[in-house]
Structure 1
Amino acid sequence: MTDPAHGFDSYDVLGVPVTVTTPTLTAEAIERWSHDEIGRFVCLRDVASLMAIRDDPDIAPLHRDASVVTPDGRPLAELGKRRGLPVEQTSGYDLFEAVCARSPRSGLKHYVYGGEEGVAQDLAQVMRTRYPGISIVGVETPPMGEPAPREAEFTRQRILASGADVVWVGLSSPRQDVWMWRNHTGLPQTLIGIGAAFDFHTGRKQRAPRIVRVMMLEWLYRLLAEPKRLWRRYLVMLPRFVWLSLLDKGRRKNRERSGDAPAQ
């Protein structure tokens, strides 16, 4: 299924249109979008965040308005590959690296929005050290909780005045997704919700080793690191996802046997 507005194919995962993309292809699209004045947002979906947003009828429609919904988690990428699609895991960590590494040449200007106190400033310093010549035009840590309308408008005006091309949003999901959904029409930038990547890139948290990610056990690594915060995400939502995916696979096979072409 192709999105005519953005030129990407997508495949359905429990009603969510996951984009057929890679870190490089997404980075290239973000660079192209910097040449127009259209506000867009990019969601990065792992199993837990997909289930959380899918289960909430008030925010579930946001995926349809996103320009890209990347397979942040390897299981989502593997589902696409098993359908014969040229998709790669496109995590917040990897997309951030892909875009920033190209920025000294592409000239993209960046705004860092989110994280706990001091994290956004540390991330900006990491970016300047790791990618000499990168342009960072704004750094902001929002207060906890829902901002007052006046405060939200001040934030929008600061981002608008900065001249940024990309706004990196680290508010955790689904808060960051809702924030981008509400604000993308009033801003000309591309908003990208990368959540925990703020902490990974600043060294506050350790990303799972590559072999763990390849084995699709990153969820277990994170659960063991933060059991009190993440137990429900991985011990409740993950089994539900597996069960619903198996049911969906069965329905697809039934449609194939009956001669109906399944939607990707």
Structure 2
Amino acid sequence: MVIQPATKACGGCHRYRVLGFPVDVCCDVQVAALDMHVSGGGRIVTLNAEMTMAARMDKDLGSAIINAELVIPDGAGVVWALSKQGVRVVKTAGIELAWSLLNYAASHGWTVALVGASPNVMASLKIMLFKRFPGLRLVFAVDGYQSAEAWPHLESKLRELRPDLVLVALGVPRQETWSHRVQKGQHGLWMGVGGSFDVWAGTKKRAPKWMCRMQIEWLYRLIQEPNRWKRMLSLPAFVWQVIKGELND
């Protein structure tokens, strides 16, 4: 059964729903993000099966996803769920979109803010980015290991700077719920990037290209971090919920 898009999202995208959460299918995700910046900005969420299942239990995370201006399918499970609706889409890796936006920012004079990861990762990341993008206007860069007392001041400073691009690596659900709260009233693009800072800084490796092509990056992450196995149990639960929804239609 083909389900018609619920609403039209930002330029060139159509919005569908997977287990009640929006997913935007775009001809070109970067173009959609840049159009969103021109229109005043907003938040980009990279949705996968694990996050979808977590959002069904976490009201704040669910609200952050539902209210995001652009929600891209960053996971084989979400791509599969869309295919069950007759929607063909290629997975959009959040790490690749974030990198392309950094590249665009450096070449077009955008101001950039980075939030998250460990102090060592943030230090290495800044060195790497300035070497890779000499023209990068990095106006704000703080690691995620700040005291509770420090965050209000940092958030105020970030709002004052009004950067064009804010990349947040605080992990799910924190990066989404934090961005949802702090981004309100701000222009620019805000995007949760998970472990991207660690990969860019060289402290972690991304899955080999052949695994990315086969959409089994989750297996590589599990091999790297065996303690993720409990989180991976959300994958069969996600599949069952999608199938159950079909049976009930």
TM-score, length of structure 2 as denominator length: 0.87
Distance in 1 (CA, whole Å) between partners of 2:88 and 2:131 is: 33
| Residue in structure 2 matched with residue 59 of structure 1 by the alignment | 61
CA 1:76/1:4 → structure 2, altered by over 3 Å: closer, same or farther?
closer
Instruction: Tell me the equivalent position of 2:19.
Output: 14
Which whole-Å CA distance do the structure 1 matches of 2:7 and 2:111 have between them?
Answer: 27
> Match for residue 79 of structure 1?
81
Aligned to 2:29: 26
Structure 2 residue 127 is matched with structure 1 residue 129: no
How big is the shift at 1:196? 0.8
Identity within the alignment, %: 28
Match of 2:243 among 242, 246, 255: 246
User: Any idea what SS the aligned residue of 2:184 has?
Assistant: helix
Aligned residue in 2 for 1:225: 224
Counterpart-to-counterpart distance in 2, 1:35 and 1:169: 21
Q: Distance in 2 between matches of 1:63 and 1:42?
A: 9
Please tell me whether the aligned partners of residues 183 and 190 of structure 2 are also in contact (alpha carbons under 8 angstroms): yes
Summarize deviations over 1:153-189 as a string: whole Å, max 9, x none. 3112221233410110000000101101111214333
CA deviation profile, 1:47-97 (whole Å, cap 9, x unmatched): 112211222234322222101111111332243355454633222211112
Contact 2:43–2:70 (CA under 8 A) maintained in structure 1: yes
Q: Indicate the larger mover: 168-177 or 151-160.
A: 151-160
Structure 1 range deviating more: 131-140 or 75-84: 75-84
* Residues 110, 241 of structure 1: alpha-carbon distance in 2 compared, 3 angstrom cutoff: same
Conserved 8 A contact 2:81-2:242:
no
CA distance, structure 2, for counterparts of residue 11 and residue 33 of structure 1: 18
| Residues 183-215 of structure 1, C-alpha deviations (whole Å, 9 max, x = no match) | 121433321000111111111111111211222
Equivalent AA in structure 1 for residue 207 of structure 2: A
Unaligned runs of 5+ in 2: none
Three-state SS of the structure 2 residue aligned to 1:87 is coil
Pairs within 5 Å for 1:81-230: 81=83, 83-85=85-87, 87-143=89-145, 147-148=148-149, 151-228=150-227, 230=228
- In 2: Cα distance, 1:207 partner to 1:15 partner: 30
Aligned length: 244
Label 1:127 to 1:66 Cα distance change in 2 as closer, same or farther (>3 A).
same
Q: For 2:213 and 2:109, locate their aligned partners in 1 and report how far apart those are by CA, in whole Å.
A: 33
**Uncovered stretches (5+) of structure 1, i.e. residues with no partner:** 256-264
Query: Relative to 1, partners in 2 of residues 1:59 and 1:93: Cα closer, same or farther, differing over 3 Å?
Result: closer
| Gap change, CA 1:185 and 1:114, over 3 Å in 2 | same
Query: Given that residues 137 and 163 in structure 1 are in contact (C-alpha distance below 8 angstroms), is that contact kept between their aligned partners in structure 2?
Result: no
Distance 1:242 1:4 in 2: 26
* Cα gap change, 1:158 to 1:118, in 2 (>3 Å): farther
Partner of 1:47: 49
Task: Give the superposition deviation at 1:46.
Answer: 1.7
Q: Is the 8 A contact 1:121 1:139 kept in 2?
A: no
Counterpart residue type for residue 32 of structure 1: D
CA, structure 1 residues 152+195, in 2 after alignment: closer, same or farther (shift >3 Å)? Answer: same
Partners of 1:192 and 1:116 in 2: CA distance: 18
